[in-house]
Structure formats: C-alpha cells, structure tokens
Copies of this chain bind each other. A is one copy, B any other.
Amino acid sequence: MSWNAWGDPAHATSLPESVRALVADVLGAPPCPSPSVAREELELPPSALPAAARTALEAAVGAAHVVTDDAERVLHTGGKSTPDLLRRRAGDVAAAPDAVVLPADHAEVGAALRACADHGVAVVPFGGGTSVVGGVEPLRGRFGALVALDLRRLDRLVAVDEVARTATLQAGLRTPEAEELLAAHGLTLGHQPQSYEYATIGGYAATRSSGQSSAGYGRFDAMVLGLRAATPRGTLDLGRSPGTAAGPDLRQLLLGSEGTLGVITEVTLRVRPLPEARLDEAWAFPDFATGTAALRALAQGGTRPTLVRLSDETETFVNAALSGREAVPGCLAVVAHEGTAEQAAAVRELTAATLRAAGGTELGGEPVAHWRHSRYSGPYLRDALLDAGILAETLETATTWSALPGLRQAVTDALTGALTTAGGPPVVTCHISHVYPEGASLYFTVVAASGADPAARWHSAKRAAGDAIAACGATISHHHAVGTDHLPWMEAEVGALGLEVLRAVKDVLDPAGVLNPGKLVPELP
C-alpha cells in the first residue's frame, strides 16, 4: 500500500489526457499541479511507547512483532479518505502510531488488548487500512501512546463446511487471498467492494461493508453466520445457528463496531459454489427516474439478478467520456446473473422481462465488460486528480424507494451549493449501487477544483451533504461506516438513548476505553 495514495504504487496512474480535457472543459478550470511531499521529506515524531507497555506488548505477541520503525508507522497513519490523503500529501504525519503490533492469532490479539488496557495505550485495529471515513485515524484520545494493531498475520482459512456452505476465515485475510483459499474448495464469497484488493475480512465485518454484487450475494453483515471477537474483557463467540430466537442478536453489536468494542478475529461466512455461468448485460433507460423504477421492480420481484447498478445521466456521460466511448442517451445500468447455467438463464429471462416492461433497452454485454475492467480503479484516478489540483471524493447513503428522488436532489444541491466557485459548479454524479425490496443506496462522486484549501472545501461540502441526508431521514452511511467523519450524525441515526446503550456496551467490553478512541460514538460533552 502506498503511504499517501490508494493501493499499489506500481498501479498509480498519471492523469489520462481524456480526463484532463474533460475536467478543463466541465469545471472551467485547467488542472494545475499540486504534488505530494516526497516520502523522504517526512519527519515522524519518535515513538512515545512507554517501556513498560512495550514489554507487555512484546510478551503478548513476541518482540519481533512490536515494530517501531518509521516505514511501518507511516503506513498506519490513517486511512484513504481524501482528507486523510491531503493531510499526508502535505507531510503531516504527526499522529503516526508509536508502534505497529502484529499478533499471530486470536489469543495474541486478546493478550495485546489486555496489555494496552493495562498500560493505558490506545489501540487502532488495522486491516487493509482502506477506511474512507477516518475509521483508522490514529487518535490518542486521553492516552499518551497509541499502537496500530495490524491483523495481517491472521490470514488462515480456518474451516470449510461444504455441506452447510460456510467458511471460517481469519480477520486479516484480504479478499483476493480469501477467494483463492475458497476457490480450492470450489467456493466463493462473492464480496466485491471497490476496496476488494486491499480490504480485509475483519474490516468488512467491523464496518458492515457491501459489495458490488450485493443483490445476489448480500451485504457482508448478512453473510456473517458467526463471529469471534477479542476484547480486553475476554472473548465473544457469537452466532450458533442460521436462525435463532434466543434473545437479542449480539453479533449485530460487533458488526459495525469499527474496533471500538473488540477486535473481530474470525468470521464464519456464507459461501457459494463458484458460479458455473455469468451472464452480463447492460441496459439503457431514457432517464434516472425510469431506471430507478425498473430497479425497484427487480428488487421487489420474486427473483433478482446477482448484480445491478444504475448510473444517472451525468455519470453515464462521464464514464463513457473517460473511456473514450460514446455515451448511450439517458442512463446506463449494468446487470449480471450468476449461478448454475440453468438458474442464471431462467432468472435472466425474468429480469429481462421486468426491465423491458419498465422501459429498458438491452445493450448486450460490452458495457458491462468495460465496467468490470475499471471497477477497482476509481481511487487511483482520484490520486492523479489530486496531483492535478482537482478534488475528487465520494459519499454514499441509502433510503426507501419513495424517499430516493428527494434524497438525490437534496444531496446534489448541498454538494453543488458548497463547492460552486467563481469558476463554476462541481461535477456531481450519482448511481444506485445496492438495491433492497424497500429501498436502495445512492453513491455520489464529486469532482471540483481543489482551490487553496481543498480539505476545508471538502469539509464544508461533506457537512452540507450529511445534514441534507439527516434531514431526509436517510442513513449517514450505507457501506462506508462511521469512523470520525460521520460522528456528527450518529445521534440522528440512533438517538441519544441509543448512544447511551452503545456507551454502556463499550464500558463492559473495554472499560479502559483504549479501543479505537474517537470513533463511532461521539464523546460526551
């Protein structure tokens, strides 16, 4: 992972000429270079880990696995939101963790957490480090030292049950590795978020991730049959059955807990056979409203495709322009069906009938192939845009089908209002990325001139968009989680009494308060 950008530095891209031209044209502002400081210019503060804490951590995970060198520390200095990247690109690594701790297994995670609790050391659980909401920001809270607890050594496939079609995976596995281990059994997880290449199994669970094929495979939280978490107070093993009425579902407290209640060390997940067939098909709709109604008909019907996404008119145009193709008029949807050949074909027929009746036109598989080719590359483009003085960021939300049009308008207006300058308005695109019988998510991409203070510009835009989301009664995050960035809206989400419940649960599991301070639950005033 790059320290100041998305992903593998070898895959970094310079700004394609098509994008440069488009940006100059649409934003009315030519890109102007805005490079990052170089790695060698960084000055990390010396590690502040007290000797006694270090000794205790070394006893927990072994001396070789308490790492204080700058190379590791800088790679754990926050996540991958645009504000994160802007901060590091400007050379600000003052918050770097004092050590990176690398436990080998569940027991060592527990021991490391107890050591941190005993010695008053804040601990940020760290998977792929792909958070775009400040979830892995190294905030010390009231503590004098902070470690990142990197789970990358927890990388085993623990068990496979081919009859029940479940697999138990350790938290530190990245998706491609997990899929490779499962493929040896003819199985797949089918979880494909944009962070696919870097994010980890544990991170997906801790943040309630959702993948691009969620229509068929489900949200990540819905795939979790069981989970194991280490806390400073001991172990939680939750989830005994595919369905149960034995009280409240405590798994659902750990799912989405973002490392504040415990560290998820392994999860038992629903897996599926590697699909025999995959049938890709793009559809055009005359406008977003017609396309939205078509997706709703699919989501509310008795059968459903594996993947379905709908870009609005602007995104349809921009995506085509980026790849040098001609845009279809209106809106493009990508649709796929996976499964046995017979099942995929039968459900595809039902889907096609629904979409045709709803005003869609079949376009064949080629636009889906294009989409598949570039579906993980958006974040690399963001880095190239930042280099060129262009701010590019995303945000997402979800609501019911009935509230969706109003939500889209309100968020678009909020972003446009906050980011319009003398040079003109920003580009705001939107797509429906995940569908449910009752509603869907909306995923917004914003491109604007960086201006003199891009972080402040984005902060005000994000604030306006978040307030618009809350005012619409929608959720502040469909699949990016809370981290630090969404704290202002958590009371709207669960109420003051709900926050009290979350604090009480934390007091039981993490009485010292060392677990990921400053995330998920706003601190008491």
Instruction: Please measure, in the bound complex, the distance between the C-alpha atom of A221 and the C-alpha atom of B342, giving whole angstroms.
Output: 32
Asked whether any CB of chain B lies closer than 8 Å to the CB of A421, the reply is no
For A478, give the chain B residue with the smallest CB separation.
Answer: B243
Count of residues in A whose CB is under 8 Å from the partner chain? 99
For A161, give the chain B residue with the smallest CB separation.
Answer: B402
**Residues A243 and B509 in contact, CB atoms below 8 Å apart:** no
**Residues A210 and B246 in contact, CB atoms below 8 Å apart:** no
For A209, give the chain B residue with the smallest CB separation.
Answer: B245
Binary interface profile of A, 331-355, with partner B (CB < 8 Å = 1, else 0)?
0000000011011101101100100
Asked whether any CB of chain B lies closer than 8 Å to the CB of A504, the reply is yes
**Residues A401 and B164 in contact, CB atoms below 8 Å apart:** yes
Binary interface profile of A, 288-305, with partner B (CB < 8 Å = 1, else 0)?
000000001000111100
Question: In the assembled complex, how far is the CB of residue A405 from the closest CB belonging to chain B, in whole angstroms?
Answer: 10
Asked whether any CB of chain B lies closer than 8 Å to the CB of A408, the reply is no
Contact of A495 with B236 at beta-carbon distance under 8 Å, contacts A241-B475, A245-B256, A509-B501 already known: yes
How many copies of this kind of chain does the complex include?
2
Partner of A253, one of B241, B474, B501: B501
Asked whether any CB of chain B lies closer than 8 Å to the CB of A242, the reply is yes
13 contacts between A and B (CB under 8 A): A163-B402, A164-B403, A208-B245, A234-B496, A240-B475, A241-B475, A242-B398, A243-B478, A244-B398, A247-B481, A247-B521, A301-B343, A497-B509
Asked whether any CB of chain B lies closer than 8 Å to the CB of A237, the reply is yes
Contact partners of A301 in chain B: CB under 8 A: 339-340, 343
Instruction: Please measure, in the bound complex, the distance between the C-alpha atom of A245 and the C-alpha atom of B235, giving whole angstroms.
Output: 24
Among A169-177, A376-384, A486-494, the stretch in contact with B: A486-494
For A233, give the chain B residue with the smallest CB separation.
Answer: B497
Contact partners of A353 in chain B: CB under 8 A: 342
Contact partners of A249 in chain B: CB under 8 A: 221, 249, 252-253, 255-256
Contact partners of A234 in chain B: CB under 8 A: 496-497
Instruction: Please measure, in the bound complex, the distance between the C-alpha atom of A496 and the C-alpha atom of B509, giving whole angstroms.
Output: 12
Contact partners of A508 in chain B: CB under 8 A: 497, 500-501, 504
Q: A163-B296, A240-B473, A246-B493 are in contact. List 6 more A-B contacts (CB 8 A).
A: A207-B245, A240-B493, A245-B482, A246-B494, A253-B253, A497-B508
**Residues B208 and A166 in contact, CB atoms below 8 Å apart:** no
Contact of A210 with B243 at beta-carbon distance under 8 Å, contacts A236-B498, A501-B250 already known: yes
Instruction: Please measure, in the bound complex, the distance between the C-alpha atom of A54 and the C-alpha atom of B504, giving whole angstroms.
Output: 32
Asked whether any CB of chain B lies closer than 8 Å to the CB of A477, the reply is yes
**Residues A344 and B482 in contact, CB atoms below 8 Å apart:** no
Asked whether any CB of chain B lies closer than 8 Å to the CB of A119, the reply is no
Asked whether any CB of chain B lies closer than 8 Å to the CB of A436, the reply is yes
Asked whether any CB of chain B lies closer than 8 Å to the CB of A59, the reply is no
Contact of A246 with B500 at beta-carbon distance under 8 Å, contacts A270-B437, A495-B235 already known: no
Interface centre among A251, A437, A486, A509 (most CB of B within 10 A): A437
Contact of A399 with B241 at beta-carbon distance under 8 Å, contacts A164-B439, A476-B246 already known: yes
The 4 closest A-B pairs by CB, nearest first: A252-B252, A241-B475, A242-B436, A164-B400
**Residues A166 and B438 in contact, CB atoms below 8 Å apart:** yes
Contact of A486 with B401 at beta-carbon distance under 8 Å, contacts A241-B439, A437-B165, A504-B504 already known: no
Contact partners of A246 in chain B: CB under 8 A: 256, 475-477, 481-482, 486, 489-490, 493-494
Instruction: Please measure, in the bound complex, the distance between the C-alpha atom of A439 and the C-alpha atom of B226, giving whole angstroms.
Output: 13
Contact partners of A493 in chain B: CB under 8 A: 240, 244, 246-247
Asked whether any CB of chain B lies closer than 8 Å to the CB of A231, the reply is yes
Question: In the assembled complex, how far is the CB of residue A489 from the closest CB belonging to chain B, in whole angstroms?
Answer: 8
Question: In the assembled complex, how far is the CB of residue A475 from the closest CB belonging to chain B, in whole angstroms?
Answer: 4
Contact partners of A240 in chain B: CB under 8 A: 399, 473-475, 493
Interface centre among A342, A400, A473 (most CB of B within 10 A): A400
Instruction: Please measure, in the bound complex, the distance between the C-alpha atom of A237 and the C-alpha atom of B493, giving whole angstroms.
Output: 9
Instruction: Please measure, in the bound complex, the distance between the C-alpha atom of A481 and the C-alpha atom of B347, giving whole angstroms.
Output: 36
Instruction: Please measure, in the bound complex, the distance between the C-alpha atom of A437 and the C-alpha atom of B300, giving whole angstroms.
Output: 20
Question: In the assembled complex, how far is the CB of residue A127 from the closest CB belonging to chain B, in whole angstroms?
Answer: 15
Asked whether any CB of chain B lies closer than 8 Å to the CB of A479, the reply is yes
Instruction: Please measure, in the bound complex, the distance between the C-alpha atom of A353 and the C-alpha atom of B342, giving whole angstroms.
Output: 10
